[in-house]
Structure 1
Amino acid sequence: MNLQTTGRKALMALGAALLMAHATAQAPSYPAPKPLGAGAQATLDKLSYKGGTPTIAYLPMGTEYNYHVALYEGIKSVPGIKSFMLSPYSGSDQAGQMGMLQDVTSRKDVDAILIISFDEHSLAPLIKKAVDAGKVVVIVNSDIPNFPTPVHGVVGVNQRIANKALAEWARAQAKDAPKSVGVLDGEPSYIATERAGGFLDGLKDSNWKLATRINGGWSVEKGNTAAMDMLQANPGINAIYASSDYMALGAALAAKSLGRTNISIYGYDGDTGALEDIANGGGVTATTNTSPVKMGRMAALFAVDLLNRKSSGGYVNVPTEIVYKGNVQAVLKQPADLYPKPSKAY
């Protein structure tokens, strides 16, 4: 009798474990999509995908940015798909990206296109052609609710909210001591506007005052040059917000060159180089980690669901966290979710 009872309990435990495993396997692989703006959602009625192993083309805006390559690390980690990346090296080579978009649109073996847009208005006519050609089109690393032409999905971070939160966190850490702030913008675009705009939203009605705001060009080199000019023209600046970690790293180099050790520098992205800079006291104070490897994985899974008509589209908001000296080690101890890998074990 005891053996029978023990056996029944074991079977019940096994059944519960199998149900839990099934539930875990069926759990959403990305946050539930939210509706895009009115008229911005492309329908699925033109899709040419008929089943089988889907092919996803990923078109970032410049492989000079590790962040864009990190997104592809996430994309290609998704099982059951074929994928490839096409990108100019320079993030300012808009013509190069447009030509590549035309190429993948004409390819019958491409089922979905994941693309990073620095200039949505220039890309819009070509995006429309891709949608009309039956491709799933997802804008990645953005939260734009109303792309100029309808798309199937957008995957990214609510940049204005995330950067407002970073500014409020920075003020709290400084115990609201007054600061003179310089802002390094990216090249003019929706994402540049939202990122810097969010940080400035977080400074409203505070004693952190904007001294100047200039274009830092997205890169380490351009960010370094812009920060050098900014600090020499405005020696009272003691806080810098950069709309990307690359520019933040450039600003840290500028501050070091000028012997300025009293400057707090805040970035955005979650680039491995910036994370290690924070850990090693190189000059970057904090960043918003948007987990690009995870974002790429989510974007690919979302595209597959769109192709299989398991989703009708929308905006997928990727979770973020503010990373600083106190918690950066925990992030660096997860190298599977980072690209490039950290330079050492943490």
Structure 2
Amino acid sequence: MLLYIARRFFLMIVILFLVSIMVFGLINIIPGDPASLMLGQEATPQALASLRQNLGLNDPLYLQYIHWVGGVLQGNLGYSLSDHTPVLNILLSKIPVTLELTIFAFLLAVLIAVPAGIISAVHKGSVWDYVTTVFALSGVSIPAFWLGILLIYLLSLTLGWLPPSGYVAFAQNPVRNIILMIMPSIALGIRLSAQLTRMLRSSLLEVMQSDYIRTGYAKGLLEKAVVFKHALRNAMLPVLTVAGLELSSFLGGAVITETIFAVPGLGQLIVNAILTRDFPVVQGAILFMAFAVVIVNFLVDIAYSLLDPRISLGGASK
């Protein structure tokens, strides 16, 4: 088990190293001069040359990368070109907002997917099964941005039930915070709920055909006991994998969702930073999102091995 975790951890470090190279390289090939953005278009050539020298922009790219990575390892992600605020401070102010949206959307997806998947599998061929199948197919097919616009039109503009956009911190007004988070959470979480429903249904149907399930029924066990105590645990293994991967993609989906609903999280920060060519902010935000994705996948691997010890034993024996 420890060897399995060590191998996964080493792989995570390698992936983060490769991601840092990609982020640094992609940002540096984007047209635009950071010195001109900081000093303005009317700056003198002498001032621009001096600032480029101070920022290290005249150094070779590999030296710029080494200096940047060294700063990242020390918690220094640079400074925003727009207001010279440390990028780390900007990220720390935006991360809780995106994290809150991610948690709400994930909880919503699980609360919908688990009962829907179980009912659909246990009552295969029933009306509930067909309803669940239609929901799953629709949820996977509808883009998040279109669903967000549709929710605003129906629930806000037409019915007037919810405010169209905005954000209030939970500590400031918990009720208002939850109300404003309802539509973004639905727009972000409905796709995950649909995918988890389909995966749980197919996985549970497969497990229900196993010999030990038929043995449980033969012993006179109630259907509830067979499903929840025996079948569901094994059926959750592939579902856990899908949930972990999709949870990682929430950070990418949050870019669109936060922009539509004016939620001031990482997604909206990246969009605004790209539009203003604030390269240090873009670098820091993308690097953090990549780090979060890798960490989530690492934790999913560990959880997977705990649910199925054969995985860690297999990884350790190689």
TM class by shorter-chain length? under 0.3
> Which structure's relative contact order is higher, taking Cα pairs within 8 Å and 6+ residues apart?
2
Query: TM-score, structure 1 length as denominator?
Result: 0.21
- Larger proportion of helix: 2
Of structures 1 and 2, the larger Rg is shown by 2
Structure-2-length-normalised TM-score: 0.22
Q: Which structure shows the bigger proportion of residues in strand conformation?
A: 1
